[in-house]
Structure 1
Amino acid sequence: MRVFSRKNDHGVEVYDAELNLVRTFAVPPRSTYKEPGSEGHAVPASRDRLFYATDTAVLKVDPEGREQWRFELGARGPNCGVSYTDVALSADDTRLWVYAPNAMADRGRPDEWIVLDAATGAPLTRHELPTVGHGGDHVALSDGRMLLEVGEGQDGVQIYLAGPGTPPHDYGWGDRSLHGVSPDETRFVTVGHDTDDLIVHAFPSGDTLFTVTLPDFGFADDEDDLFLEWSPGFLDDDTVIAVVLGVDEEEDTDWWRHFRVDARTGEVLGELEITTINQYDLDVLGDGTYVITDTDGTLRRM
């Protein structure tokens, strides 16, 4: 099972499989549009090191915060916009993949997808991307390959697949958001940028296996303020969890409901009777369990 960690005001908290807190790594405050700070992070299976990005560099540190290596990205320019660097470890923890939103950071060069040696920080591969992204999200695959989603704001979303020694494959959609790969790595799930459908694709081809839309969940197709949220995922090989978000205009509040979808046929199997603090706070682990945050901030695996 993957290492579970989260960033909060205290730093990056790292947990064991039972969600007991193992340690907390001190990192700079979160980066914002105006203020520099820490951005994406990754923790190896040993849980004794932290990789994290700032607005100018990627670092590896020990539990005491001592720097083991630093890879410089370069300073953000005076015309920088929202630009958030993401990092992720390969499945065997030997490589660190870095998405650097150079265009929005005003570094004077294109966006890059960089592969570093996790032990030394030495660059192994650098790919230029034709994106102007605000940020990225990675999904590691068991054979060393990596999926990357690049969010370009109103301009859409791009999805790429690469291996340690292979160039990125561009899926070419431009309007689909990536939300995980099935545990057996035969399928992956996306949601449309306009939040009106969910598609399960064959992996790695990207061919559509089925599409689910709001009427499949029992809602009218033309209802205003109703969305398929950007937060589904594979509960296990057979089940996708989808989230429908609605807006109550009279009360000026949001509501959300979690649904189980058959990951092989697209049949909606019913509602997952669960309460979460927001529409994103359900992290599926792929083994039939998931993690939510209790009202007191405690993590619970269910």
Structure 2
Amino acid sequence: MGIFGRKPRRDARDTTRDASFEFFSEDEGARFRAGVHAAFAEQGLEVTVGADAVTDSSGRQFGLGNLAAVCHNDSRGPRVWPELTRRHIGIMLRAMDGPSVLDTMPAEKFRAQLYPRLLPDEMAGSDGFDYARPLAEGLREVLALDLPESVMVLPRSSLEHFGDVPALRERALDNLRRLPVESHETVEQEKGAGVDVVMGESMFTASRVLTLDELVPRVTGRGLSTDGALVAMPFRHQLAFHAIRDRHVIAGLNTLAQFAAAGFEEGVGRITPDVYWWRAGALTRLSTLAEDGIKITVDGEFQAVLERLIEG
């Protein structure tokens, strides 16, 4: 009977790692890319498979980062990677090849399915996204449409028919506020230095940082102080925060920085490995992930908060 409880076999962490997706071993990475090539061939497309993207004969490129993370995180192991890959590629191709949903969607339905989405600078800095709202170093906010099989990130040209950007953003925020909280738990490595983690299947779970002052009392029963909170949005399905209340803020920052870096490495829909200080809706970056590890840098304003809380 015990054999049915065994976890799927994966290569040990001390085996040579894949150059692009460190959570795979070198052999697992090769197996994953072979599956990608086979799935495109089943769709009648011959592609060139690169380290982290594929290119078809017409020059279209498809990134592999999200799919790789989906495969890695599936608890059933490599045996289901072909199934996951076929499904993912099928959804992607249907979205690209089919008629645009924007041509037929009624305006009110469009606005009802509109949400704000967080993206790293490099993903929101292309033509058409000049309206993207800078949130902090490395992070911007755009508008996205929630569809049955995917999420469509919207350039300005896709918004013009439905209204002006400020009004659409307000509607997107209202939709975000109405989302249910799917899962919440507290991670505590040191007494008083707990990190609250909100998780969900929704592609906009991390976007909840935009309404953090409403979310925190909803999940913890206690509002934020004027000092705000430390926050991390490592990938789209997760938001973590530490409410700043007392001297445990330093331990909370260290815990959250490690948590964010780990989540960013393995998460689907990666956003940022960094930790930010949220106060009155504004975000200030406190940590960055460099090749030699996590670096924490605080400005004079946050340093004053630390000194007041520690001395108090």
Q: Give the TM-score normalised by structure 2.
A: 0.32
1 or 2 for the larger relative contact order (CA 8 Å, sep ≥6)?
A: 2
Greater Rg, structure 1 or structure 2?
A: 2
- Normalized per residue, which structure has more strand? 1
- Normalized per residue, which structure has more helix? 2
